[in-house]
Chains A and B, each alone.
Chain A
Amino acid sequence: MALALNQPLGYIDANTFPLPHLRPILRGISDDIHNAYGFKVLRGLLVQRHTREENIIIYAGVSAHIAPIRGRQDHEIDGRPADVVLNHIKDMTATVDAKHIGAPAYTTEKQVFHTDAGSIIALMCLETAAEGGQSKLSSSWKVYNELAQSRPDLIRTLAEPKWTPEKYVLAVARETRY
């Protein structure tokens, strides 16, 4: 880890952040995510003992053993090319004008069920809310099967190519990017 602190964060991988005793368990988590339950919660990281940067290094280092390929959430910051990997999910409403907040992730409001980018997503909790804020998961396969049985017309609606998603040009809450 002392070596990692002297390198750009992009150098963090399973070789620069070796975990010889933990690696078999972490590879087992990868197997579970792909072939079994589809999710796992790692518990007990002592985030309160580390700086923000150290926690990010630990997060990236541990995660590199579970899934070595890091995704990118954006390709620029302030108009300059950048590989934006990490996102800070926190309430910004006290400091940012609501018209610049385009996602409930940056408020205290609930986030309804959705998926993000990447084949695996990871969330690390640095601080717990005073009340609420619980994470919930739901199998999309289960949802599909029940919908196919009860409302096959809606399955057809979901599958047809007539959906027009928004193409976001503005970066939302740029100040949350690390």
Chain B
Amino acid sequence: MIIQYARRTFTGYWGLPRSSNIPAITEAQAEALDALHFLAEKHAVSLDFRQGDVQYVNNLSIFHARDGFTDTSDKQYVLWYPFGDQRLIPC
């Protein structure tokens, strides 16, 4: 089973609200999105991610998230890119 999912492609965000020329999500769809998020929160692990770390995550079977943060003179700065291997990913 593969899940690819991002809430904001259905709900919009800030500078990119949901376009008015596509249908709004239904109540059932909104409830489904919320359920995904709350269950993911319930079973989440925190990585203690810090400067000099690189995390590699199976993007087809694991959700990822990031807590809000405050900066003072230290600025959180992360480089991200997607890639793949030729191994098959079991479902």
Contacts and interface: CB of A to CB of B under 8 A. Distances in A.
Nearest to A90: B77
A51 to B, nearest CB: 13
A126 B69 contact: no
Contact of A163 (B29, B86, B90): B29
B39 A101 contact: no
Nearest to B34: A154
Given A85-B81, A143-B43, A134 B66 contact: yes
A59 B45 CA distance: 24
Contacts of A147: 35-36, 39
A99 B12 CA distance: 12
Interface in A10-31: 29-31
A3 interface: no
Contacts of B37: 112-113
Nearest to B19: A166
A15 to B, nearest CB: 16
28 contacts: A33-B56, A35-B90, A40-B55, A40-B56, A41-B49, A41-B54, A43-B53, A69-B86, A70-B82, A71-B83, A73-B82, A91-B71, A103-B13, A104-B13, A110-B68, A114-B5, A115-B3, A116-B82, A119-B83, A119-B85, A119-B89, A124-B79, A132-B67, A135-B64, A136-B47, A137-B45, A142-B39, A166-B10
Given A33-B58, A104-B8, A115-B5, 18 more contacts: A29-B56, A33-B57, A35-B87, A39-B62, A42-B54, A86-B81, A87-B80, A110-B66, A116-B6, A120-B82, A124-B78, A125-B53, A127-B51, A127-B77, A139-B61, A141-B61, A144-B3, A157-B29
